[in-house]
A and B are shown apart, each in its own frame.
Chain A
C-alpha cells in the first residue's frame, strides 16, 4: 500500500531496556561493587560488611532449612492474629467514632495522640499479662495496629457520601445491614489504607517484641544471629524480611487498587 506521506511523526520504537531501568541496574551494581570492596578492604571490623558470597551462602543456607520456615510461620501467625483482632476492633471503633459526633469529640483525640507513641514500651506489661510466648507478641501487635485502623476508619466514615446513608435509611435497612451493605463498601479505600498501615506497625511490633524476649520467630532468629555474631546470616535474614514486607505491602495495595479499576 502506497503511503502518500505522514502528517505525524511516527514515534521511535521504545528501547527494550529504558534509561530508567539502566540507571537502576547501574545503581544496584555500584552498590554491590562498593560493598564487596569494603568487605575485602579490612577497613571495618571484620564481618560487619561480609562478602557478597558469604551473604549469598548464608541466604541459601537459610532458605533451604526448615527452621527458617517454622519461625517465619510463627511470626506470620502472630502478625496475622494481631491484624485480625486489632483490625476488627479498629474497624468497629472507627465506625462508632465516625458515626457519632459526640463520641468522636470525646475520644478521638486520645486515639490521635496515642497513635504515634512507640508501642514497644508496653511490652513489659504484655509479658506480665500474657507470658513470654507468642501471645504477648500478638497483644503488642494488636495494640499497635488498632490505632491507625481506627483513625483511618473514623475519617472514612465521615467521608462517606451522606446521601448513600439516607438511601439506606429510606429503605429501612437495620443497623447490621447499614454497616455491611453501606458503610463498609463505601469505605473500602480508607479501610484498605488503614489495614496497610496496620500491617506495617503490627509487623514491626511483633518483630521487635520477638527480638526483645522470645524463643521463636524471625525477630528471635535475627537477635540470635547478632548474639552469635553470625553477620552473613543476619544480613540474609534482613534482606529476606525486607523483600517479604515489601511484597506484602504491594499485595495489600493491589487489593485496594483492584477496586479503583471498577470504581468511578
Chain B
C-alpha cells in the first residue's frame, strides 16, 4: 500500500462519519415520509416531511419571517449589551470588594441554576405584554453566568503577572486596567457567550409563551391556527437559526482566543 493510497483512504474515512450522520437523518425523514404517506402514522399529528418542506417557502413569505428574525435578534442584542455591561461591572465590583464576593458569590451561583424564567408572569405584570418583558427576562436569566465568569477570570490571573505589575509600582487602577482586566478577557468572553446562549433560549421561550415578539411567537401562532406543517416548519427554522447563532458565537470566540 503506497503512502498516497493511505492518505486518500484516510481522507475518505475522515468524511465517512459525517456522511453516516447526515445519511441517518435523511434516512429518518424518508422513513417518516413513507410512514405518513401510507397512513401508518396519522398525518394530522405528523405531516409528511415533504409537506413541511413545502411550507417553508409559504411561512417565510407570509409570516414575515425575516422581520421576526430581526425582532428576535434585536431583543437578543439589547439583552446582550445589558448583560455585558451589568454582568462584567457586577463581576468587577465583586472582585474589587472581596467581602461582597464572599457574601454574594454563592447566591449568584444558586441563581444560575434556578428557574428564573418562571418569573415571566411577574415581568408581564411589570412591563406588560411588550418587548421589554422579553428583553428583561433574557437579561436577568443570563446575568449570573456573566458575573461568575468575570470573577473567575479576574481572580484567575496568574500570580506572576500581578507581581510584574507590582514590580512596576502600578496604582490599583492601573493594575486593574492594564493587567487584570486584559488577562481576564478570554474568560469574560466565555461568560458573555454563555450569557448570550441563556439569553437567546429564554427570549425565544418567552416569546413563545406570551405570544409576542419574533420567532418564538411565530411558532405559537401557527400552532394555535392548527397549521401543522407550518408549525413544524417554523420549529425547524428556529432550530436552524439558533444553531447558526451558536456556531457564530463559537467562531467569534475562537477568533478572539486563537491560543486555544
Contact = CB atoms under 8 A, between A and B. Distances in A.
B169 to A, nearest CB: 30
A200 interface: yes
B231 A118 contact: no
Contact of B115 (A114, A225, A245): A245
Given A118-B205, A246-B114, 11 more contacts: A27-B104, A109-B21, A117-B239, A117-B243, A118-B204, A121-B219, A203-B115, A204-B118, A207-B115, A219-B118, A241-B115
Contact of A208 (B20, B114, B117): B117
Contacts of B247: 113
A212 B209 contact: yes
19 contacts: A23-B99, A27-B103, A48-B126, A106-B17, A106-B21, A117-B201, A117-B239, A118-B202, A118-B216, A120-B209, A124-B231, A200-B115, A203-B115, A208-B205, A211-B118, A219-B118, A238-B118, A242-B115, A246-B114
Nearest to A27: B103
A125 B232 contact: yes
Interface in A164-216: 196, 200, 203-204, 207-208, 211-212
Contact of A23 (B100, B200, B228): B100
Contacts of B220: 124
Contacts of B235: 121-122, 125
Contacts of B20: 102, 106
A226 B125 contact: yes
A125 B204 contact: no
B119 interface: yes
A106 B99 contact: no
Given A20-B103, A117-B238, A120-B208, A222 B121 contact: yes
Contacts of A116: 197, 200-201, 242, 246
Contacts of B239: 114, 117
Contact of A125 (B18, B115, B209, B231): B231
Contacts of A48: 125-126
A258 B24 CA distance: 41
B122 interface: yes
A24 interface: yes
A21 B213 CA distance: 43
A37 interface: no
A44 B125 CA distance: 11
Contacts of A43: none
Contact of A238 (B119, B219, B223, B228): B119
A107 B115 contact: no
Contacts of B25: 110
Contacts of A27: 103-104
B17 A102 contact: yes
A216 B208 CA distance: 20
Interface in A219-248: 219, 222-223, 225-226, 229, 231, 234-235, 238, 241-242, 245-246
Nearest to B15: A105
A135 to B, nearest CB: 14
Contacts of A124: 219-220, 223, 231
Q: How large is the interface on B (under 10, 10 to 19, 20 to 34, 35 or more residues)?
A: 35 or more
B103 A24 contact: yes
A71 interface: no
Nearest to A243: B114
A238 to B, nearest CB: 6
Given A116-B246, A121-B235, A208-B209, A234 B122 contact: yes
Contacts of B17: 102-106
Contacts of A7: none
- What 6 pairs across the A-B complex have the smallest Cβ distances? A105-B17, A124-B223, A106-B21, A226-B121, A106-B17, A23-B103
A89 B247 CA distance: 26
Nearest to A199: B113
Contacts of A225: 121
A249 B197 contact: no
Contacts of A200: 113, 115
Interface in B209-260: 209, 216, 219-220, 223, 228, 231-232, 235, 238-239, 242-243, 246-247
Nearest to A107: B21
A211 B102 contact: no
A229 B246 CA distance: 38
